[in-house]
Amino acid sequence: MDKLVECVPNFSEGRHPEVVRQILEAIDSVRGVKLLDSSSDASHNRSVVTFAGAPETVRQAAFQAAARAAELIDMEQHHGAHPRIGATDVIPFVPIGETTMEECIALARQLGAEIGERLQIPVYLYEAAATRPERRSLPAVRQGEYEGLKEAILLPGRQPDFGPARMHPTAGATAVGARPPLIAYNINLDTGDVAIAKAIAKTIRGSGGGFPSIKALGVLIEDRGLAQVTINVCNFQDVSLVRVFAAVRDEAARHGVAIADSEIVGLVPAAALPEAAVSCLQLAGFKPEQVLEQRI
Amino acid sequence: MDKLVECVPNFSEGRHPEVVRQILEAIDSVRGVKLLDSSSDASHNRSVVTFAGAPETVRQAAFQAAARAAELIDMEQHHGAHPRIGATDVIPFVPIGETTMEECIALARQLGAEIGERLQIPVYLYEAAATRPERRSLPAVRQGEYEGLKEAILLPGRQPDFGPARMHPTAGATAVGARPPLIAYNINLDTGDVAIAKAIAKTIRGSGGGFPSIKALGVLIEDRGLAQVTINVCNFQDVSLVRVFAAVRDEAARHGVAIADSEIVGLVPAAALPEAAVSCLQLAGFKPEQVLEQRI
């Protein structure tokens, strides 16, 4: 398998499809990049785009998108429910296939330098690409949001990693980083009692003392009348889908409830699936290199 | 994912590494083809080679290999335990990724015509590429083997699909076909009683009234002291690994025996693994297009 990188930039525009279309065109103009998904949310006033390709082409496409967003989006006019610091709010690079996290960190630093110098937008490196421990957390980088960061950027602890130490007058600032693939995974319980789903979510999530790389909430799926544990698996190599499933199944059993079914929302990296097969089939000694397509 | 084809030709030479090396070089000389495996068996006096690539390049490499084998192997001197009809005994094409069985059947027919005309070797199309129902079975095509086919080839029912209706004087004949990927899958029982493994194998295999696309034997794994059901899953889309596992587990339970573990020998197509994940995680509505790498 070739070297591949996924990129999931978030833009502070979710109400004008024409603006989003122009940003998508900027990405699509780079040969070799494949657009995988785009979704806009009006109440968040935000769009999330997913694309992938060879590392260099993905970096070029991310720059083109950030440049176009800086032309089209005026943060002075922006209001929305989701925290944000700039027109291109955040650009994470995600390793796929044989690509390593180190390669994505290098990409993030190259892109950060380019955005800082050529677009004169301050850039903060975050998560795996962070240069300071406190910047691994995206909420910490975003503290004060666009409006508050105008002053806070002058403080020694908030100076950007690249670009000018002042906000861009309309595009604000951008967080650029590297992170593992995120899997959106929902487990439906055979009960309509959302309190049970909430209790299970609290037990398994990092903020409740559970798995550090798991985020989870309990919600009610009204059309099915089922309680759901809705989960972000932020690092499936730390905690596999099978382990999450087993943890929820065991917690649900303590409440006398069975699992109805589960679902993966959107895309899942191929590497997350063999591990489930290994567990289900009690496979001994299985190696990812045994997957035929990995060898070609 | 690109169009890919796997090819697993079998050559009637397993005792002279130098001969096998020259055949491998003929395959490797075609740009874009990737050699994945080669294994030779002296008692069978036979070598099995696995390679893959884009359909056209794989067809070219298969032709080069058959031409080299015809130069180097003299069937008049060949003895071995495995049934065979020619220097290149059999050439199956296997669809991978987005390639369809129909495309592999077309490849088999093109290659058959080429081997028949350019090498003057009679070719029988078999399995999914067969032109007559009785030729879907490879043992039926091989009936009489190299020695017996010299006369039988003159009979109306045994005339080849391509090439002369007489055996090549040293290279014999070749079977060319298309088939689904085969998965070699072993399930180890928590017992040393090989009679139980034999009884289970008989129940699940096609020839015993079980799954038509499953071949199975019961054997003893001496170093572990465990009885094993050793299985060929000949069409994992008909019968998944999970279904085979469950059938063996249920049969074993009737004998009061548990499964120790299982193993996949060699390569497995990526498409065989999500199904196991779906079963293990009770995944609802999962589609192969959700696998990120499939989208790029």
Q: Which residue has the higher pLDDT, A150 or B263?
A: A150
Going by pLDDT thresholds of 50, 70 and 90, the confidence category of residue A271 is: confident
Distance of CA A173 to the CA centre of its chain: 18
Residue B241 contacts A where some CB pair is shorter than 8 Å: yes
Contacting residues of B for A263, CB less than 8 Å apart: 283-286
Residue A241 contacts B where some CB pair is shorter than 8 Å: yes
% of chain A residues with pLDDT over 90:
75
A41-99 per-position pLDDT tens digit: 888 899 999 999 999 999 999 999 999 999 999 999 999 888 899 999 999 999 987 89
Residue A4 contacts B where some CB pair is shorter than 8 Å: yes
Nearest CA in chain A to B269: A292
Least CB–CB distance from A36: residue in B4, B97, B295: B295
Compute the nearest-CA separation of A245 from chain B (Å): 7
Distance of CA B45 to the CA centre of its chain: 17
Give the CA-trace dihedral at A11, A12, A15, A20, to 10 degrees.
-30
Residue B291: what pLDDT? 79
HEC string of A60-73 equals HHHHHHHHHHHHHC
Q: Is residue A38 predicted with pLDDT exceeding 80?
A: yes
Q: Cite the active site residues of B.
A: 82
Residue A196: what pLDDT? 97
Contacting residues of B for A276, CB less than 8 Å apart: 273, 276-277, 280-281
Q: Is residue B14 predicted with pLDDT exceeding 80?
A: yes
Q: Is residue A294 predicted with pLDDT exceeding 80?
A: no
Residue B243 contacts A where some CB pair is shorter than 8 Å: no
CB neighbours (10 Å) of residue A117?
13
CB contact under 8 A, A296 and B264: no
Spatial CA neighbour of A167 closest among A136, A137, A145: A145
Q: Is residue A280 predicted with pLDDT exceeding 60?
A: yes
Spatial CA neighbour of B80 closest among B16, B132, B28: B16
CB contact under 8 A, B264 and A273: no
Contacting residues of A for B188, CB less than 8 Å apart: 284
Least CB–CB distance from A96: residue in B34, B188, B292: B292
Least CB–CB distance from A277: residue in B259, B273, B284: B273
CB contact under 8 A, B241 and A1: no
Residue B103: what pLDDT? 97
Q: How far apart are CA B274 and CA A199, in angstroms?
A: 30
Going by pLDDT thresholds of 50, 70 and 90, the confidence category of residue B290 is: confident
Question: Taking residues B146-161, what's their average pLDDT?
Answer: 96
CB contact under 8 A, B292 and A245: no
**In terms of C-beta density within 10 A (0-12 exposed, 13-18 middle, 19 or more buried), how is residue A198 classed?**
middle
Going by pLDDT thresholds of 50, 70 and 90, the confidence category of residue B253 is: very high
Q: Are A283 and B263 in contact (CB under 8 A)?
A: yes
Q: Are A178 and A93 in contact (CB under 8 A)?
A: yes
Residue A78 CA neighbour count, 13 Å, CB half: 32
Question: Taking residues B68-77, what's their average pLDDT?
Answer: 98
**Mean pLDDT, chain A, as a whole number?**
93
Residue A237: what pLDDT? 86
CB contact under 8 A, B281 and A292: no
Q: How far apart are CA A39 and CA A46, in angstroms?
A: 9
Q: Are B239 and B233 in contact (CB under 8 A)?
A: yes
What pTM did the predictor assign? 0.68
Contacting residues of B for A8, CB less than 8 Å apart: none
Q: Is residue A1 predicted with pLDDT exceeding 60?
A: no
Going by pLDDT thresholds of 50, 70 and 90, the confidence category of residue B288 is: confident
Residue A45: what pLDDT? 92
Name residues 111-130 of chain A within 8 A of B (Cβ). Answer: none
Helix (H, G, I), strand (E, B) or coil at B136: coil
CB contact under 8 A, B294 and A270: yes
- Name the active-site residue from A44, A78, A79, A82: A82
Going by pLDDT thresholds of 50, 70 and 90, the confidence category of residue B274 is: confident
Q: How far apart are CA B57 and CA A102, in angstroms?
A: 35
Question: Taking residues A148-177, what's their average pLDDT?
Answer: 97
Contacts of A182 (CB under 8 A, 6+ apart): A94, A232, A233, A234
CB neighbours (10 Å) of residue A39?
12
Residue A223 contacts B where some CB pair is shorter than 8 Å: no
A186-235 per-position pLDDT tens digit: 999 999 999 999 999 999 999 888 999 999 999 898 888 999 999 999 99
Strands B214-221 and B174-178: unpaired
Q: Is residue B1 predicted with pLDDT exceeding 70?
A: no
Residue A234: what pLDDT? 92
Report for A56-70, A93-107, B26-40, B223-237: range of highest mean pLDDT: A56-70
CA angle, corner A236, sides to A232 and A242, nearest 5? 90
Q: Are A94 and A6 in contact (CB under 8 A)?
A: yes
Contacts of B54 (CB under 8 A, 6+ apart): B2, B3, B4, B5, B32
Question: Is A78 tagged catalytic?
Answer: no
Least CB–CB distance from B263: residue in A34, A273, A285: A285
Q: Which residue has the tokens 């509505």?
A: B285
Q: Which residue has the higher pLDDT, B42 or B54?
A: B54
Contacts of A121 (CB under 8 A, 6+ apart): A66, A70, A86, A88, A115, A163, A168, A171, A172, A173, A174
CB contact under 8 A, A292 and B267: yes
Q: Residue B69 has what DSSP assignment?
A: H
B109-149 per-position pLDDT tens digit: 999 999 999 999 999 999 999 999 999 999 899 999 999 99
Compute the nearest-CA separation of B4 from chain A (Å): 9
Q: How far apart are CA B22 and CA B18, in angstroms?
A: 6
Q: What is the ipTM of this complex?
A: 0.71
Residue A264 contacts B where some CB pair is shorter than 8 Å: yes
Residue B50 contacts A where some CB pair is shorter than 8 Å: no
Residue A279: what pLDDT? 82
What are the start-end ranges of the H helices in chain B? Answer: 17-28, 55-72, 101-118, 138-141, 145-152, 194-204, 241-254, 272-280
Nearest CA in chain A to B1: A293
Q: Which residue has the tokens 């496979």?
A: A283
Q: How far apart are CA A49 and CA B60, in angstroms?
A: 41
Q: Are A62 and A111 in contact (CB under 8 A)?
A: yes
Q: How far apart are CA A92 and CA A260, in angstroms?
A: 34
Q: Are A183 and A232 in contact (CB under 8 A)?
A: yes
Q: Is residue B178 predicted with pLDDT exceeding 90?
A: yes
B84-117 per-position pLDDT tens digit: 999 999 999 999 878 999 999 999 999 999 999 9
